[in-house]
Structure 1
């Protein structure tokens, strides 16, 4: 059974096909065509953490594909009222797939271990593969191609950064993390990336101005993620020189674009001037969450349509 817990679950060829499918479906939507590729199919959205973009993009995307979605919050008692095997196997009787947004990556792994239905990672503490799909789709649209592009992530080596490092390795892009000492990406994760893609151009720097010097896209995220609130003061001090502001943007090529996965803490990791500026693609990037995930859903649940409609 095909799951999508991280980008390690697919091959570079799979990834490129998902991105091409997303592009085709997006073009059809722009032309007013909403093919019922997933008619009568149902996905569940099993969320432990709050969400705007992930929830709405999956719900809207599934509706546009002719299917339906069910939002499952804390009231369903996941991990509380019954054995995980009972919960998951019963859920698999009702839905065609589940999108899980969990606090710990081990929870989506447990969900997938029963093979009751395909499981899609909607975000965990380890990685955020759906966000990475949208990010690359955005870069491809902006530049005409993602091939050979240099993506620089300024900030914490968090779940988003780790997914970006992997997707860049898969697509032979260059990835740089610019972060304070002690906030690098997980060493086990990076060892796995290097083992799978030994020619990957993935590096870490501690000087943000030097890091963005050859950037095609500069990406940032909040300094303090959900669950890290006790570290907020220390993190603000550690990251104070890593703000994406006009000065840092001027250290990059004039053609560089600005990305942020949102929500943003304006005035902290990014200034209003930059997030609302002419080089920002943040709104397009957020919109591409839906289009990229539609490509993923069609790849997972409507493969026959791809063979007839996607080159």
Structure 2
């Protein structure tokens, strides 16, 4: 059974096919065509964490594909009222796909291990593959190609950064993380990426100014993620010189695009002037969450349609 938990589960060719399908479905939507590719299919959104983009993009995307969705919160008792195995297998009797947004990646891995229903990781503490899909789709739209492009992430080596490092390795892109000492990506994750993609071009530096000098895309995220609130003061001090503002953008190429996975704390990790500038793709990037996830859901649930309609 096919799952999408980290992006390690699929090949670079699979990834490129998902992106191709996503682009095709977006073009169809713009043209007014909403084919019911997943008619009578049901996706369950099993969320432990708050969400705007992930929830709305999956619900709207599934509706546009002719299917339906169910939002499952704390009231369903995931991991509380019955064994994880029973919970997952029963859910698999009712729905065709489950999107999990969990505090711990282990819980999503456990659910997928039962192979009762395809699982998509909608965000965990380890990685955020759906965000990365939308991110590279946005870069491709803006710059025309992905191979050889340089994406620089200015900020914490968090779950988003880790997914970006992996997806860049899969697509022959360069990835640079600019962060203070002590806020690097997980070493085990990087070792896993290097093992799977020995030619990956991934580096970590401490100087954000030099990190963006040849960047094609400059990405940032909040300095303090959900669950790290007790570290907020220390993080603000550590990242004070890592703001994506006019001073940093002056060091970057004029063609560089600006990305942020949102929500943003304007005036902290990014300024109003940059996030609202002509170089910013942030709003389209957010919109591409839906388009990328539509491509992913169709690839998971109706590949015969893809083979017949997407060339």
TM-score (norm 1): 1.00
**Structure 1 residue 278: deviation in Å?**
1.1
Secondary structure of the 1:153 match is: strand
Report how many aligned residue pairs link the two structures: 311
Distance 2:266 2:80 in 1: 37
Tell me, which stretches of 5 or more residues in structure 1 are unaligned? none
Secondary structure of the 1:122 match is: strand
Distance 1:57 1:148 in 2: 29
Distance 2:4 2:69 in 1: 18
1:75-154 → structure 2 map (5 Å cutoff): 75-154=75-154
**Structure 1 residue 147: deviation in Å?**
1.7
Residue-by-residue CA offset, 1:209-253 (whole Å, 9 max, x unaligned):
000000000000000000000000000000000000000011100
**Structure 1 residue 101: deviation in Å?**
0.1
Residue-by-residue CA offset, 1:59-107 (whole Å, 9 max, x unaligned):
0000000000000011101111111111111000000010000000001
Distance 2:193 2:113 in 1: 22
**Structure 1 residue 161: deviation in Å?**
0.2
TM-score (norm 2): 1.00
**Structure 1 residue 146: deviation in Å?**
1.2
Tell me, which stretches of 5 or more residues in structure 2 are unaligned? none
**Structure 1 residue 117: deviation in Å?**
0.2
Give the equivalent residue in structure 2 for 1:242: 242
Distance 1:15 1:296 in 2: 9
Secondary structure of the 2:183 match is: coil
1:1-311 → structure 2 map (5 Å cutoff): 1-311=1-311
Aligned-residue CA RMSD (Å) = 0.5
**Structure 1 residue 178: deviation in Å?**
0.3
Residue-by-residue CA offset, 1:6-44 (whole Å, 9 max, x unaligned):
110100000000000000010000000000000000010
Distance 2:114 2:198 in 1: 32
Moved more, 121-130 or 82-91: 82-91
